[in-house]
Each structure stands twice: as structure tokens, then as C-alpha cells.
């Protein structure tokens, strides 16, 4: 009888471990979103900004869908572009929580802490001054260069270092091709290139549906290999 009870306890514990929700933080910028090919699509007074917002929201939802298909999860989405009021809240997957407004101390990584199992960067761009980086800049645009530990970084690198300080691994990063090449020099992570820049203000784009599929594949792979993810140190 004791052996049966012990087996039951072990089985229940194993089952609980397998169903424990994973906790994921999503920081979403706009310039690197699939389907966005002009600066005006990222500006709240620009042509096709409404389309840009829809593309941004749909990309977040594609990643969120993949997360929940893997298993139970808690997902926090942080709008990280401009005034940080870009996502269409009523069209976001209702299973997420989200943060808006740029009046927050930690900006693109607001509320990221040690409790998260991983962070995903969506729609990011390359650092200021980068050749062939679509709409490349750092911060509000007045930063010409930023170095951490002797390494020049952009917003992705800065946020990766902050996540590393909290013990949270970057498990996926998406944006233009130049950004994906930039971020893997800072932190080993899966990437999805959504477009390839033509100079600094134009881009050759993948269709959003293709981007969504790639993001879902890489999100699924990242979560299934989460135990091997390492935070930047």
C-alpha cells in the first residue's frame, strides 16, 4: 500500500511539473515588424500607420498562439515603440496581459524580473549608424552610440543585458536582417528576419503570413528547448 501511495505522489508531482505554466515576456517594437516598409507606417501621424498597428498586433498574436499551443503559459506583452501606445488592445489575444505608455522607468523591458522563463523581442531594428539597417537608431534617435562592457549595442543588446542581469534568457528575436545579425553577436538566440533593408529607409519585405509562420516555428522550437536556454552573463 505504501508503495502504491508513493507511486501516486511521484506521478502527481511529475504531472504538475509538466503542466506548470511557462512565464514569457514579449517586448515588441515596430520598425522590424513584417510588412512595414516605410517610416510613416511607424508614426502615429503617418500614412498607413493604422495598417502598421494591425501588422504589429497580428505578429504578437501569432507568437502568443504558438506559446499556448506548446502548453499553459503566462504572457506579458510590453508595447515598446515610440509613445508605446501602438498595439490594438481589443484585438490582442485575450490570454495576455499588456503594458502601454512610454512613461515607465524601464521602457522596453518594464516589469521584466527574475520570475520570467524567457523574453522574446519582436519587431526590433539595428543600432544607430548601422549600414543597411532599416530605420536603424538607438533610443529616441539622439543616441549616436552606446557601449556596454566595451561592446557597442543597440536597443536589442541593451535589453538583452538587462534580461541577463535578471537571469532571463532571450529565446527569440525578430526584425530586419541586419538586426538579426547584430543581436546574435551579443547573445545566442533564435532569430527571424522579417525583411532586408535597402539603404536605411526602404526594405524588401516578406509577406506577413510568411513571417507569422516563421515566428510560430521558432517560438515552438525555443519553448521546447527552454531548459537549455542561457541568460546573458
Q: Are 73 and 23 in contact (CB under 8 A)?
A: yes
- Please identify which of the residues 81, 89, 125, 137 carries the catalytic annotation: 137
H helix or E strand, kind and range, residue 56: helix 49-70
Burial class (CB in 10 A: 0-12, 13-18, 19+), 20: exposed
DSSP per-residue letters across 125-155: -PPTT-TT-TT--STTTT----EETTEE--H
Q: How far apart are CA 229 and CA 24, in angstroms?
A: 13
Q: Is 154 left (phi over 0), alpha (psi -120 to 50) or beta?
A: beta
How far apart (Å, rounded) are the C-alpha atoms in residues 172 and 70? Answer: 15
**Do residues 30 and 42 make contact, with C-beta atoms less than 8 angstroms apart?**
yes
Question: Is 89 part of the annotated catalytic residue set?
Answer: no
Cα(233)–Cα(227) distance, rounded to whole angstroms?
Answer: 17
**What residues are annotated to the active site?**
137
Amino acid at each position: 500500500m505504501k508503495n502504491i501511495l508513493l507511486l501516486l505522489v511521484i506521478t502527481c508531482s511529475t504531472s504538475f511539473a509538466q503542466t506548470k505554466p511557462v512565464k514569457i515576456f514579449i517586448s515588441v517594437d515596430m520598425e522590424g515588424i513584417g510588412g512595414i516598409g516605410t517610416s510613416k507606417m511607424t508614426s502615429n501621424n503617418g500614412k498607413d500607420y493604422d495598417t502598421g498597428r494591425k501588422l504589429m498586433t497580428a505578429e504578437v498574436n501569432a507568437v502568443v498562439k504558438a506559446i499556448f499551443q506548446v502548453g499553459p503559459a503566462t504572457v506579458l506583452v510590453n508595447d515598446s515603440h515610440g509613445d508605446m501606445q501602438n498595439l490594438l488592445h481589443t484585438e490582442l489575444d485575450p490570454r495576455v496581459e499588456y503594458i502601454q505608455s512610454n512613461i515607465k522607468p524601464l521602457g522596453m523591458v518594464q516589469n521584466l524580473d527574475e520570475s520570467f522563463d524567457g523574453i522574446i523581442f519582436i519587431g526590433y531594428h539595428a543600432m544607430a549608424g548601422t549600414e543597411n539597417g532599416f530605420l536603424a537608431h538607438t533610443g529616441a534617435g539622439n543616441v549616436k552610440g552606446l557601449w556596454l562592457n566595451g561592446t557597442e549595442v543597440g536597443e536589442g543588446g541593451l535589453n538583452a543585458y538587462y534580461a541577463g542581469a535578471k537571469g532571463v534568457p532571450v529565446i527569440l528575436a525578430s526584425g530586419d536582417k541586419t538586426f538579426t545579425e547584430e543581436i546574435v553577436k551579443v547573445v545566442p538566440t533564435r532569430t527571424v528576419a522579417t525583411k532586408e533593408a535597402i539603404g536605411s529607409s526602404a526594405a524588401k519585405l516578406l509577406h506577413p503570413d510568411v513571417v507569422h509562420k516563421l515566428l510560430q516555428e521558432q517560438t515552438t522550437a525555443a519553448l521546447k528547448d527552454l531548459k537549455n536556454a542561457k541568460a546573458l552573463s
